[in-house]
């Protein structure tokens, strides 16, 4: 069976005053039907650019995005509109992604109108049904975004994405702007929706703990490239790329004994300048295991890991003593 | 242990009847790290800003006392407050750009405090500024003194702010979400730095955070705030290990954990925090609490001793502890 989403050698580049920044550099990834793939990395790694490129909100400088077998770049007219229906986005900040002058009903109905779907009565019914699905009753229909809490706004954002019955949601940091007790509501909603609707998701995130409990597979990005990908359980139990190890060991846990026993951070220093990325492996300037080879030659993804030294690295020991065991 | 900072019954209001802090009492002992944890609108930042007299103009302190080393900060002359601020009490902000002047080199900004507060000569101040940048882990410190804030990355800027904060040997550092704007690998480096500096210098630290994980390795004691009040406080080990207030329990349970088995349900707290202009009559958490009884809706529970130095503001915490309810 073909994957629902198949991204091949995708490249996204931006022209800046200082030169060209290659935000996404020849990335391959797939998302199966009903699967949640988490794309993780720190700011500037290219994860959001890749998510936007999948939805063609960002032009590709190279490569292709295939959805259900079709190359989105070659689709035109009705075929493109049809494909777009099946592929929707949930944004990070529900505050700025919802039109403040429209009611919840108008916001959620709009995609149906744009795509010319249903009679007014049918649309009305579909909007009410979708609001129920995201846990907002019909009493919210005539409210404006300003009268909603952050969590309620994000539910509206999800309803707007769901109203077209998509098969894939691209979620770009959908909970990072929310308080932690509200985050959990939205994350559980996304899991429930996947269960009920068989939705696939490309879930863009920086919070590894969220990803651990949400995703089936994980792809880790650093400076425009995927450095490691694999099944969530395996990667969290045994991260193999030094950057994945650094990320996992840097994430704080709410456990006093573990945090007080924490050793020094694995990754030191800063992200390199994306205008002038390091030769070879982009992570080598911060990597505790770097060798001259790492500067000379860029490692390809082999068995899901892009590291020359993946077979000779010492076993990963989390600085949080009871992790990684 | 005598307290260096003592906040007693502090109340702060904003126009429109927004009660941002409602009788907050907190203490920080000499050499101690207190973490104030809460979600947005809990009043944690307002409390911190009150200490330094940095509340926005429209805010009014409607009651309470703030004493620092015996000085009543809410009633002392402006000149004395200015002298304390930057010298005895230093601040580290969430966004280092707000703390730095964009048109002055970082060297000049550090030297200014050293000259004004410690009376150092220009040349001595420059030498000391370079030492400070080196201490906070900025490579080629002496050369970087001549750079402007925009020439540093976010993480390096936060190091500069920390260098400024420790420059006059303060007795207390207040850090308001010091790592929230940073990526996780940079956050780990800054937390490591704060921990080392605090231990080496013996400074007291009051850290404000929404992230229990961030404060777990830093704090000696923790206070949890909700809707303008402290609902629970205690040692970090006890409170983070076993919160007693239903909100504290819910907050800890809702943090997804890297070290927990995956595929458990996300444990959300139902509902949303109350509107600060229309707080419920009783306990502000009652509308979201799974253990609510009539008494909770009628009267706001005071913050009372719950044995072992723990303070809890919940009518039912003792029976809940016995029943092991989560």
Spell out which residues of chain A touch residue B278, defining contact as CB-CB under 8 Å. none
Sign, Cα dihedral of B257, B261, B262, B268 = negative
What is the structure's pLDDT at A324?
Answer: 39
Note the pLDDT tens digit of each residue in B223-281: 999 999 999 999 999 999 999 999 999 999 999 988 877 667 888 999 989 988 999 99
**How far is the alpha carbon of A58 from chain B, nearest alpha carbon, in Å?**
24
Residue of A nearest to B212 (CA): A254
What is the structure's pLDDT at B326?
Answer: 45
Residue of B nearest to A232 (CA): B262
Domains, chain B, ranges and CATH?
3-88+171-321 (3.40.50.300), 97-169 (no CATH)
The reply to whether residue B40 touches residue A212, judged by beta carbons under 8 angstroms, is no
Contact at 8 Å (CB) between B166 and B197?
Answer: yes
What is the structure's pLDDT at B1?
Answer: 53
The reply to whether residue A254 touches residue B184, judged by beta carbons under 8 angstroms, is no
Residue of B nearest to A149 (CA): B272
What is the 8-class DSSP label of residue B219?
-
CA B326, CA B318: separation in Å to the nearest integer? Answer: 13
Q: Which of A40, A178, A180 to mutate to test the interface with B (most CBs of B within 10 A)?
A: A180
Nearest CA among B199, B202, B211 for reference residue B94: B211
Q: Output the six-digit token pair for B174.
A: 């207040």
Interface pTM, i.e. ipTM:
0.89
The reply to whether residue B39 touches residue A268, judged by beta carbons under 8 angstroms, is no
**Residue B149: strand, helix, or coil:** helix
The reply to whether residue A213 touches residue B268, judged by beta carbons under 8 angstroms, is no
Task: Kindly tell me the burial class for residue B302, based on how many C-beta atoms sit within 10 Å of its own C-beta (0-12, 13-18, 19 or more).
Answer: exposed
Residue predicted with more confidence, B113 or A264: B113
Spell out which residues of chain A touch residue B33, defining contact as CB-CB under 8 Å. none
Sign, Cα dihedral of B136, B142, B144, B149 = positive
Contact at 8 Å (CB) between B86 and B117?
Answer: yes
Question: Residue A323 pLDDT more than 50?
Answer: no
Note the pLDDT tens digit of each residue in A104-116: 999 999 999 999 9
Q: Which of residues 42-101 of B touch A (CB under 8 A)?
A: none
What is the structure's pLDDT at A320?
Answer: 63
CA A100, CA A292: separation in Å to the nearest integer? Answer: 55
Contact at 8 Å (CB) between B38 and B232?
Answer: no
Sign, Cα dihedral of A93, A99, A100, A104 = negative
Q: How many CB pairs under 8 A join A and B?
A: 144
What is the average per-residue pLDDT within B38-57?
94
Spell out which residues of chain B touch residue A182, defining contact as CB-CB under 8 Å. 268-269, 272
Note the pLDDT tens digit of each residue in B96-142: 888 899 999 999 999 999 999 999 999 999 999 999 999 999 999 99
C-alpha distance from residue B124 to each of B112, B127, B201 (Å):
12, 5, 21
What is the structure's pLDDT at B324?
Answer: 53
Nearest CA among B235, B200, B210 for reference residue B306: B235
Q: Which of residues 172-211 of B touch A (CB under 8 A)?
A: 183-189, 191-192, 210-211
The reply to whether residue B266 touches residue A187, judged by beta carbons under 8 angstroms, is yes
Can you point out the beta strands (E) in chain B? 3-14, 18-29, 33-37, 60-68, 71-72, 89-92, 172-176, 204-209, 221-226, 229-235, 304-305, 311-312
What is the structure's pLDDT at B308?
Answer: 79
What is the structure's pLDDT at B307?
Answer: 82
Choose the weakest-confidence range: A21-30, A147-156, A212-221, A310-319: A310-319
The reply to whether residue A264 touches residue B192, judged by beta carbons under 8 angstroms, is yes
Spell out which residues of chain A touch residue B289, defining contact as CB-CB under 8 Å. none
Count CB neighbours of A320 within 10 A: 23
The reply to whether residue A236 touches residue B264, judged by beta carbons under 8 angstroms, is no
Query: Average model confidence (pLDDT) for chain A?
Result: 93
Q: Phi and psi for A129 in degrees, rounded to 5?
A: -65, -45
**Residue A55: strand, helix, or coil:** coil
- The strand pair at B18-29 and B3-14 is best described as antiparallel
Question: Residue A224 pLDDT more than 60?
Answer: yes
Residue A1 pLDDT grade (very low, low, confident, very high; cuts 50, 70, 90): low
**Residue A301: strand, helix, or coil:** coil
Query: pTM of the entire structure?
Result: 0.93
**How far is the alpha carbon of A35 from chain B, nearest alpha carbon, in Å?**
14
The reply to whether residue A179 touches residue B189, judged by beta carbons under 8 angstroms, is no
Nearest CA among B47, B38, B140, B160 for reference residue B96: B160
CA A322, CA A320: separation in Å to the nearest integer? Answer: 6
Task: Kindly tell me the burial class for residue B324, based on how many C-beta atoms sit within 10 Å of its own C-beta (0-12, 13-18, 19 or more).
Answer: exposed
What is the average per-residue pLDDT within A259-267?
86
What is the structure's pLDDT at B304?
Answer: 93
The reply to whether residue B153 touches residue A252, judged by beta carbons under 8 angstroms, is no
Note the pLDDT tens digit of each residue in B270-289: 998 998 899 999 999 999 99
Spell out which residues of chain A touch residue B266, defining contact as CB-CB under 8 Å. 183-185, 187-188, 191, 213
Q: Which residues of A213-250 are buried (b: 16+ CB within 10 A; e: fewer)?
A: bbbbbbbbbbbbbbbbbbebeebbeebbbbbbbbbbbb
């Amino acid at each position: 069976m073909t994957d629902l989403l198949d991204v091949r050698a995708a490249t996204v580049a931006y022209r800046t005053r200082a030169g060209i920044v290659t935000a996404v550099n020849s990335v391959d990834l797939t998302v199966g039907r009903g699967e949640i793939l988490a794309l993780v990395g720190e700011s500037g790694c290219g994860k959001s650019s890749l998510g936007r490129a999948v939805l063609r909100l960002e032009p590709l400088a190279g490569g292709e995005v295939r959805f259900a077998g079709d190359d989105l770049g070659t689709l035109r007219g009705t075929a493109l509109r049809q494909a777009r229906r099946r592929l929707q986005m949930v944004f990070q900040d529900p505050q700025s992604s919802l039109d403040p002058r429209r009611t919840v009903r108008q916001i959620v109905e709009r995609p149906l109108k744009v795509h010319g779907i249903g009679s007014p009565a049918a649309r009305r019914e579909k909007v009410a049904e979708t609001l129920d699905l995201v846990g907002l009753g019909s009493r919210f229909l005539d409210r404006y975004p300003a009268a909603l809490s952050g969590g309620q706004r994000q539910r509206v954002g999800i309803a707007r994405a769901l109203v077209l019955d998509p098969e894939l949601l691209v979620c770009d940091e959908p909970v990072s702007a929310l308080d932690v007790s509200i985050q959990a509501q939205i994350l559980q909603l996304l899991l429930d929706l996947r269960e009920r609707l068989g939705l696939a998701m490309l879930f863009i995130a920086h919070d590894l703990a969220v990803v651990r409990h949400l995703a089936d597979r994980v792809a880790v990005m650093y400076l425009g490239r995927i450095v490691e990908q694999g099944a969530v359980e395996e990667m969290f139990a045994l991260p193999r790329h030094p950057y994945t190890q650094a990320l996992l060991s840097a994430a704080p846990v709410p456990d006093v004994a573990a945090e007080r026993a924490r050793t020094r951070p694995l990754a030191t220093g800063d992200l390199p300048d994306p205008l002038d990325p390091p030769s070879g492996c982009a992570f080598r300037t911060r990597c505790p295991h770097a060798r001259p080879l790492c500067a000379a030659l860029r490692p390809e993804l082999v068995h899901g890991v892009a590291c020359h030294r993946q077979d000779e690295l010492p076993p990963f020991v989390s600085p949080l003593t009871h992790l990684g065991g | 242990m005598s307290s260096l900072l003592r906040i007693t019954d502090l109340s702060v209001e904003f126009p429109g009847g927004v009660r941002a802090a409602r009788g907050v009492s907190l203490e920080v002992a000499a050499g101690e790290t207190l973490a104030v944890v809460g979600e947005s609108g809990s009043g944690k930042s307002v409390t911190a800003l009150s200490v330094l007299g940095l509340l926005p103009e429209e805010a009014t302190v409607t009651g309470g006392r703030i004493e620092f080393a015996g000085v009543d900060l809410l009633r002392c002359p402006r000149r004395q407050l200015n002298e304390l601020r930057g010298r005895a009490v230093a601040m580290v902000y969430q966004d280092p750009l707000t703390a730095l002047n964009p048109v002055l080199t970082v060297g000049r900004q550090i030297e200014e405090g050293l000259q004004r507060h410690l009376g150092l000569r220009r040349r001595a101040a420059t030498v000391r500024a370079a030492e400070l940048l080196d201490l906070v882990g900025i490579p080629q410190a002496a050369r970087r003194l001549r750079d402007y804030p925009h020439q540093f990355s976010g993480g390096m800027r936060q190091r500069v702010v920390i260098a400024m904060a420790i420059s006059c040997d303060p007795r207390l550092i207040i850090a308001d979400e010091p790592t929230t704007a940073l990526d996780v690998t940079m956050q780990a480096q800054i937390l490591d730095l704060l921990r080392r500096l605090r231990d080496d210098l013996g400074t007291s630290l009051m850290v404000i955070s929404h992230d229990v994980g961030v404060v777990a390795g830093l704090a000696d004691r923790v206070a949890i705030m909700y809707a303008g009040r402290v609902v629970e406080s205690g040692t970090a080990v006890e409170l983070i290990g076993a919160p007693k207030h239903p909100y504290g329990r819910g907050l800890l349970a809702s943090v997804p954990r890297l070290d927990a088995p995956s595929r458990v349900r996300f444990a959300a707290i139902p509902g949303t925090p109350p509107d600060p202009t229309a707080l419920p009559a009783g306990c502000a958490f009652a509308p979201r609490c799974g253990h609510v009884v009539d008494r909770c809706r009628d009267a706001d529970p005071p913050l009372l001793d719950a044995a072992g130095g723990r303070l809890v503001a919940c009518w039912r915490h003792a029976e809940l502890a016995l029943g092991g309810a989560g």
